[in-house]
A and B are shown apart, each in its own frame.
Chain A
Amino acid sequence: MPKRDDIKSVLVIGSGPIVIGQACEFDYSGTQACRVLREEGIRVILVNSNPATIMTDPEFADATYVEPITPEVVEAIIAKERPDAVLATLGGQTALNCAISLHDNGVLEKYGCPLIGANVEAIQLGEDREKFKGVVERCGAESAKSLICHSMDELLAAADELGYPVVVRPSFTMGGLGSGFAYDEADLRLLGGAGLQYSPTTEVLLEESILGWKEYELEVMRDHADNVVVVCSIENLDPMGVHTGDSITVAPALTLTDREYQRLRDIGIAVIREVGVDTGGCNIQFAVNPDDGRIIVIEMNPRVSRSSALASKATGFPIAKIAAKMAIGYTLDEVPNDITRETPASFEPSLDYVVVKVPRFAFEKFPAADPTLTTTMKSVGEAMAIGRNFTEALQKALRSLEKKGASFHWDGEISKVSAERALEEARVPTDGRIVLVQQALRGGCTVEEVHDATGIDPWFLDQIALINDVATMLADAPQLTPELLRLVKRHGFSDAQVASVRRMPEAVVRGVRHALGVRPVYKTVDTCAAEFAATTPYHYSSYDEETEVAPRERPAVIILGSGPNRIGQGVEFDYSCVHASFSLRDKGFDTVMINCNPETVSTDYDTSSRLYFEPLTLEDVLEVIHAESQAGPIAGVIVQLGGQTPLGLAQALEDEGVPIVGTSPSAIHLAEDRGAFGQVLARAGLIAPKHGTAYSSDEALVVAREIGYPVLVRPSYVLGGRGMVIVYDDDSLVTYVEKATEASPDHPILIDRFLDDAIEIDVDALFDGEDMYLGGIMEHVEEAGIHSGDSSCTLPPATLGDGELERVRVATRKLAEGIGVRGLMNVQFALAQDILYVIEANPRASRTVPFVAKATGVPIASAAARVMLGSTIKELREEGMLPPTGDGGRMPDHAPVSCKEAVLPFKRFRTKEGVAVDSLLGPEMRSTGEVMGIDVDFGSAFSKAQQGGGSALPRSGAIFVSVANRDKRAMLFPVKRLVDLGFTILATSGTAAVLKRNGIPATLVRKITERDDDAPGEKSIVDLIREGTVQMVVNTPSGQDARADGYAIRAATTSADKPIITTIATLAAAVLGIEAGLTEEIRVKSLQDHARDLDLYGRRAAATAAATAAATAGATA
């Protein structure tokens, strides 16, 4: 049956900010869905609070609402837009939960817009663990024995019945939040208690342990005619016990016979039918007992998931796209397979390669967090690699992580003793366990020993042992022969690994390899193992015989993507890469994308003219460039859009003779090198905060005293704010230098004057050598010192005046000229005591580019790509890509305020004792994502951003206030306002006293350390927060004394999921936001309307003028 004709408009619900467990894979799936629906002539209405996504770009929907994904707001959008149907299966758990609320409160029925893709009954059958057990049973399969509990008593009784260890799984949480293993009653009290809290239905499932079993996942698609196909099988290298998002996974499944695989397939299909998923994709997870093959169905998601994105990239079968087509009525056999064009989508992809996905973690950002991998997902990103065998794919995947120590190595000798130590360590799953396994095998542990310790299937272990064997052959060989090089390459060794084994420079290895003619060929991901011809150039490298790269005629622009998501380098950079690809394709270039992140839009096979799914290392990138230069002309390589990863390759690529377009590597160096940048500033007459370098704590003290406290200190050898702290006195400085870092002649400490109470300003600008287009000027809500990625900010800047904006404009232009920018540049300024300091300038796309594009309605990333390829800003203005006059640096007076807020993952990370890690913000970035709120004024926009970020500001109740001495004066006015607005204030003694003296009533509460032994029943602030009495917490950190208390308070707030404010500037903003939330109705406005009203392009003004002129002319006649 073809498309349903009763659906003319669809509301697509997105997934909101990037958080752990729900990342940009939903931008990929949502973008695909929006494209499909629009191609089908359906009006697409989209809601997603995340501005960094491609899907929220105005051209992907007819009406794009960057608004909080809450039932109230989505209802307002439905009331305004009156869609015929709602599609919620492509926006992760967030969209699904929102859809269920809209169903439960009758909104969907009221407005006559049913869910398509999956009905509520199916969603509940899939998600409700008890009901799902019934489903599994009816399908003739087994679930793990389990019991549902709603209280601690029930939990304890259930555990007695099942026997420890037990698995704790809270219901209706995303990415396995709050789940884990309880080995004894103490564990259970901790985990189970938290789980009851996390579950929106206060429901926790206790389950028999299937720790160490083999884990599999199937991606299944169904259409409304009940045709079902299994798109992909995925096998976890890490056995049961590690969340699949944190596991190394492999596609296709490699250690099942056909009988066992078909049994999984039969169960999977039976389950999707029994659950009644109408149409679309779902995934189903299995555990298989390695000793006897007993199969347990773990869970199923009746929606597109992270694994579906991986499966789509792994097979070339675009699950989200097909799911969208199924949702509007097509059947699988009516939809052609994009890649072959000749055959239908009603088939099951066959792979003639192996795909390996490895997770990327960010534990270094949360040193207090327990790095043990459990059933709660903790990774922040992932890399995928494709090879013609497992060893090749695995080694490529590990180097795609771009993390020191992530790849296998053969440094030095390894004794049996150290091997056994490594094995002992590998018993506990952690980030990097695979390298411990490799070292243990290398040091003489047997496959059996390692299997016993880790549960990893012997087949995988044997393959890792094989890699070690090959390394030994490489080390022992008298010389590098073509046969030997081909062998090591076929097992995925990088030039760098060969170099380290052979103790020679990497460049020499590469030189020898090229001289011997050992180069990779590029194969195609074609869904069908070459059975049919493929039309889509989606390639991966392999050291095989025949290449499939086709010749081309148009000049190619090669765009380097940003690699795995990590904190500080996320979807925002993918956004810029994708825009560059789209706009350059429009302009007649062939675009060639190189990236290894399966979650992104950039690695969708139809985003660019060609896609190379490859690691972003110098070697891998050079080989792609070589292959493409054999295929046709190359216009240049773009390294400035994918963040630090490609930027770091710029110089080396240029040294190899690769044409870099846009800002040159030498200009990039000018901005990155402290000394060189100092000279740029001096020539421009600009100043930076005072700074110095120290090699010891004594030197550090000298420098600090000279430039004056507070100072910002950090090791010189790390980037991205890692290890950076603000220090207020000598003692702390000495402690930092001696304990927190290893200062040495190679690794000095950088010390910067920290500007207290400075306003931080972020600028994104475009420069072509002649003209500058100021994309936007953003003012941070938090004062300087909080990493810009973790700050909220506003555009237009909420408090800056015209004079200040002009100074920023002039300074930005001078920097662009001084550095020699051709394309985008991001500058961070600090304004303190009316002096404008330059904190840093980065001649590349920044994290804020998508936010700026949405706030101003100007596609600056696309424009940047054009400038890099030689267009001038003048031309782009004439062409209409940029506004004819003016820019985002001076917004019209009537402009609404856009507010960006960071979303932080503290709730995910717990210490070994099970307490949430500290939520204090600092100079080191820790947010995983962001949301945007647009509204008429700052307060309303800020309120929306908080709501979008998941911690809506309170409307009434008690607010706890405890601030550092330096903040006591600044707190008075906002706290007074909160009282006026009807809130009750709770405060600790110091703060309460100040409030009282200023006539502000506050209830005194005790800190934990002040607990009165005479009044044992009295509750401490932590108790009050835990029991939900406190609606918001204001806690600015003071010195050492109150540290422990502050931490306990913040950790409790994080666990209770209430807003926490840790800077005084945010408090002021929050008060404005609370006030806006109290007094105003929900206003929603699409980005399209926003841009039209903003009218930076002057189109509306011109139309009005023309109309007026016509009217006047008419009147005259």
Chain B
Amino acid sequence: MTTQTPLTVPSRDGRSAPARVAATLVLEDGRTFRGSSYGAVGETVGEAVFSTGMTGYQETLTDPSYHRQVIVMTAPHVGNTGVNTEDDESTRIWVAGYVVRDPAIRSSSWRATRELEDELVDQGVVGICDIDTRALTRHLRERGAMRVGIFSGDAADRPEADLLDAVRTSPQMAGAALAAEVTTAEPYAVPAVGDKRFTVAAVDLGIKAMTPALMAQRGIEVHVLPASATIDDVLAVGESGPDGVFFSNGPGDPASAEREVALLREVLDRDIPFFGICFGNQLLGRALGFGTYKLKYGHRGINQPVMDRTTGKVEVTAHNHGFAVDAPLDEDSDTAYGRVRVSHVCLNDDVVEGLECLDRPAYSVQYHPEAAAGPHDAAYLFDRFVELMSTRQTAHQTTEVNA
């Protein structure tokens, strides 16, 4: 299959139009889209998912939860504000591939230091542009998330059957254990802003930079540990063990995270206050004995309505999850760790968005209170962690006094 070089707008003063070559996007069910290369030229495979956020592409690209995923941006213009040195959520771009309709040729923002496309090229992220992203999104919505490949340059010249074969032989997301691929190699600490009130052990399963930052703002010293951390590593944090333990977001299938689940049970057994986000929520669910399942096409965007069932209030939240916890909505569940209730629920589709242990100091949410990108409506969940640790501390002190 030979594809023609796409029509490219010539360079002009003040901007150099990137050289575009033909690119093809192939879905595992055989549907293909033809467009132009965007970012690096080459080939990539991953799980095709769409994100409906209209802002925050830099945060999305650098969110480790997107590891091995090819992101389809529904927002038509991407790259308008370039990239800056402040908004990265990790040290690199994680997405496996990037699909946009209209890439910005020239960015505009007082904070921008580079063009997004230059960053994509440098980090070798293969993308495609000028395709009907809405058609692709509708396809994924109807058929579900599936594997996809993007092929540009020489790669695009191969027979279509070869391309499809490359997609179909790539690894599935279901069953994938990816935490080890994204976690920090070495532990590190994020100091508390102002007076240090608590010490937290945060297990990095793909943590976003904003999470420790928001904790630090609340007087928490955050010790970020690699995903391989043991209970001893966790307990070694702080002078007399951590005041709380946090499990972060991250990529992969929670069903493949048995080791992390076991670690979490150890934490629960010790009644250490626990807070989990996203993958951390799924792991809490599994630790409590609930199942997890793969959603048809997941929640990815920054406009999702979630009901906090404690207050009855709706918050608009950032989501990025392909899996969810299977827990009953209408009643509390009895688990090995006592009663557990579903604390938050997505109003779009009634998916479980949060768990709360009624008899243990543990809770978690499926979505992203750290936002970045997204609204700040759910930031109170970090305050809740602080409260939980305060109560615990007071209780602890009381116990000690009584003893």
A residues with CB within 8 A of B: 225-227, 229-230, 252-259, 261-262, 265-266, 290-293, 331-333, 342-344, 346-354, 388-390, 446-448, 457-459, 462, 465-466, 469-470, 472-473, 483-484, 487, 523, 528-533, 544-546
- Chain B residue at minimal CB-CB distance from A349: B303
**In this assembly, does B268 line the interface, its C-beta being within 8 Å of a C-beta of chain A?**
no
Chain B interface size, under 10 / 10 to 19 / 20 to 34 / 35 or more: 35 or more
Among the 9-residue stretches B54-62, B212-220, B237-245, the one with 4 or more Cβ atoms under 8 Å from chain A is B54-62
Q: A343-B347, A469-B10, A546-B134 are in contact. Are A255 and B87 (CB under 8 A)?
A: no
**In this assembly, does B7 line the interface, its C-beta being within 8 Å of a C-beta of chain A?**
yes
Contact of A258 among B14, B15, B74, B372 (CB under 8 A): B372
- The smallest C-beta distance from B167 to any residue of chain A, in angstroms, reads 20
**In this assembly, does B183 line the interface, its C-beta being within 8 Å of a C-beta of chain A?**
no
Complex contacts, B375 vs chain A, CB 8 Å: 262, 265, 348
Name B38-72 residues within 8 Å CB distance of A: 50, 52-56, 58-59
CB of B131 within 8 A of CB of A333, answer: no
Contact of B348 among A259, A290, A532 (CB under 8 A): A532
- The smallest C-beta distance from B65 to any residue of chain A, in angstroms, reads 16
Among the 9-residue stretches B97-105, B189-197, B228-236, B284-292, the one with 4 or more Cβ atoms under 8 Å from chain A is B97-105
**In this assembly, does B259 line the interface, its C-beta being within 8 Å of a C-beta of chain A?**
no
- Docked Cα-Cα span, A468 to B4, in Å, equals 24
**In this assembly, does B109 line the interface, its C-beta being within 8 Å of a C-beta of chain A?**
yes
**In this assembly, does B373 line the interface, its C-beta being within 8 Å of a C-beta of chain A?**
yes
CB of B9 within 8 A of CB of A350, answer: no
- Chain B residue at minimal CB-CB distance from A259: B87
- The smallest C-beta distance from A684 to any residue of chain B, in angstroms, reads 56
Complex contacts, B137 vs chain A, CB 8 Å: 352, 529-531
Query: Contacts A258-B87, A352-B75, A529-B134 given; 17 further ones with Cβ under 8 A?
Result: A252-B54, A256-B55, A257-B84, A257-B87, A258-B373, A262-B374, A342-B348, A347-B304, A351-B54, A389-B102, A390-B77, A459-B107, A532-B141, A544-B134, A545-B33, A545-B135, A546-B138
CB of B109 within 8 A of CB of A257, answer: yes
**In this assembly, does B305 line the interface, its C-beta being within 8 Å of a C-beta of chain A?**
yes
Contact of A545 among B131, B141, B371, B376 (CB under 8 A): B131
**In this assembly, does B313 line the interface, its C-beta being within 8 Å of a C-beta of chain A?**
yes
Complex contacts, A333 vs chain B, CB 8 Å: 305, 307, 314, 347
CB of B305 within 8 A of CB of A293, answer: no
Query: Would you give the 0/1 interface string for B78-92, flagging 1 where the beta carbon is closer than 8 Å to chain A?
Result: 001100101100000
- Chain A residue at minimal CB-CB distance from B112: A257
**In this assembly, does B316 line the interface, its C-beta being within 8 Å of a C-beta of chain A?**
yes
- The smallest C-beta distance from B6 to any residue of chain A, in angstroms, reads 8
Give 8 nearest A-B pairs by CB, closest first: A258-B56, A546-B135, A545-B132, A258-B373, A529-B74, A459-B108, A258-B55, A348-B303
**In this assembly, does B159 line the interface, its C-beta being within 8 Å of a C-beta of chain A?**
no
**In this assembly, does B13 line the interface, its C-beta being within 8 Å of a C-beta of chain A?**
yes
Contact of B9 among A253, A347, A388, A470 (CB under 8 A): A470
CB of B313 within 8 A of CB of A487, answer: no
Complex contacts, A473 vs chain B, CB 8 Å: 7, 9-10
**In this assembly, does B144 line the interface, its C-beta being within 8 Å of a C-beta of chain A?**
no
- Docked Cα-Cα span, A530 to B371, in Å, equals 22
CB of B77 within 8 A of CB of A354, answer: yes
CB of A262 within 8 A of CB of B376, answer: yes
Complex contacts, A347 vs chain B, CB 8 Å: 303-305, 316, 347-348
Complex contacts, B55 vs chain A, CB 8 Å: 253, 256-258, 261-262
CB of B305 within 8 A of CB of A388, answer: no
Complex contacts, A351 vs chain B, CB 8 Å: 54, 75
16 residue pairs A–B, Cβ–Cβ below 8 Å: A226-B313, A256-B81, A257-B81, A258-B87, A258-B372, A262-B371, A265-B375, A293-B111, A342-B348, A459-B108, A472-B10, A473-B9, A529-B52, A529-B301, A531-B52, A546-B138
- Docked Cα-Cα span, A458 to B80, in Å, equals 10
- The smallest C-beta distance from B353 to any residue of chain A, in angstroms, reads 14
- Docked Cα-Cα span, A255 to B307, in Å, equals 31
- Docked Cα-Cα span, A350 to B316, in Å, equals 12
**In this assembly, does B76 line the interface, its C-beta being within 8 Å of a C-beta of chain A?**
yes
Complex contacts, B81 vs chain A, CB 8 Å: 255-257
**In this assembly, does B270 line the interface, its C-beta being within 8 Å of a C-beta of chain A?**
no
CB of B74 within 8 A of CB of A291, answer: no
Complex contacts, A332 vs chain B, CB 8 Å: 314
- The smallest C-beta distance from A1096 to any residue of chain B, in angstroms, reads 51
- Chain A residue at minimal CB-CB distance from B54: A252
- The smallest C-beta distance from B378 to any residue of chain A, in angstroms, reads 12
**In this assembly, does B133 line the interface, its C-beta being within 8 Å of a C-beta of chain A?**
yes
- Docked Cα-Cα span, A532 to B141, in Å, equals 7
Query: Would you give the 0/1 interface string for B271-306, flagging 1 where the beta carbon is closer than 8 Å to chain A?
Result: 000000000000000000000000000000111110
Q: A255-B80, A257-B84, A469-B10 are in contact. Are A344 and B305 (CB under 8 A)?
A: yes
- Docked Cα-Cα span, A1037 to B105, in Å, equals 59
Contact of B301 among A354, A465, A531 (CB under 8 A): A531
CB of A346 within 8 A of CB of B101, answer: no
- The smallest C-beta distance from B63 to any residue of chain A, in angstroms, reads 12
- The smallest C-beta distance from B302 to any residue of chain A, in angstroms, reads 8
Q: A266-B376, A446-B14 are in contact. Are A350 and B314 (CB under 8 A)?
A: no
Query: Would you give the 0/1 interface string for B121-137, flagging 1 where the beta carbon is closer than 8 Å to chain A?
Result: 00000000001111101
Q: A252-B54, A350-B301 are in contact. Are A462 and B106 (CB under 8 A)?
A: yes
- The smallest C-beta distance from A1094 to any residue of chain B, in angstroms, reads 50
- Docked Cα-Cα span, A347 to B375, in Å, equals 11
Contact of A350 among B54, B86, B104 (CB under 8 A): B54
- Chain B residue at minimal CB-CB distance from A291: B110
Contact of A462 among B52, B54, B105 (CB under 8 A): B105
- Docked Cα-Cα span, A546 to B142, in Å, equals 14
Q: A227-B314, A531-B52, A532-B141 are in contact. Are A346 and B10 (CB under 8 A)?
A: no
- Chain B residue at minimal CB-CB distance from A348: B303
- Docked Cα-Cα span, A390 to B87, in Å, equals 25
Complex contacts, B76 vs chain A, CB 8 Å: 352-354, 388-389
CB of A544 within 8 A of CB of B52, answer: no
Complex contacts, A544 vs chain B, CB 8 Å: 132, 134-135
- Docked Cα-Cα span, A9 to B17, in Å, equals 62
Which of B74, B76, B135, B376 has the largest number of chain A CB atoms within 10 A?
B76
CB of A229 within 8 A of CB of B316, answer: yes
Q: A459-B104, A473-B7 are in contact. Are A257 and B56 (CB under 8 A)?
A: yes
- Chain A residue at minimal CB-CB distance from B82: A257
Which of A266, A331, A354, A466 has the largest number of chain B CB atoms within 10 A?
A466
Contact of B108 among A457, A487, A546 (CB under 8 A): A457
Complex contacts, B53 vs chain A, CB 8 Å: 258, 350
CB of B87 within 8 A of CB of A254, answer: no
- Docked Cα-Cα span, A293 to B112, in Å, equals 12
- The smallest C-beta distance from B98 to any residue of chain A, in angstroms, reads 16
Complex contacts, B52 vs chain A, CB 8 Å: 350, 352, 528-529, 531
- Docked Cα-Cα span, A225 to B308, in Å, equals 13
Contact of A352 among B10, B111, B133 (CB under 8 A): B133
- Chain B residue at minimal CB-CB distance from A352: B74
Which of B84, B135, B373 has the largest number of chain A CB atoms within 10 A?
B135
Contact of A459 among B106, B110, B111 (CB under 8 A): B106
CB of A448 within 8 A of CB of B14, answer: yes
- Docked Cα-Cα span, A255 to B107, in Å, equals 8
- Docked Cα-Cα span, A388 to B131, in Å, equals 11
- Docked Cα-Cα span, A230 to B55, in Å, equals 14
Complex contacts, A266 vs chain B, CB 8 Å: 376
- Docked Cα-Cα span, A255 to B106, in Å, equals 11
CB of B111 within 8 A of CB of A462, answer: no
CB of A465 within 8 A of CB of B12, answer: yes
Q: A388-B76, A544-B134 are in contact. Are A255 and B305 (CB under 8 A)?
A: no
- The smallest C-beta distance from B379 to any residue of chain A, in angstroms, reads 10
CB of A225 within 8 A of CB of B303, answer: no
- The smallest C-beta distance from A840 to any residue of chain B, in angstroms, reads 47
Q: A227-B314, A255-B109, A261-B55 are in contact. Are A530 and B134 (CB under 8 A)?
A: yes
Complex contacts, B33 vs chain A, CB 8 Å: 545
Complex contacts, B141 vs chain A, CB 8 Å: 530-533
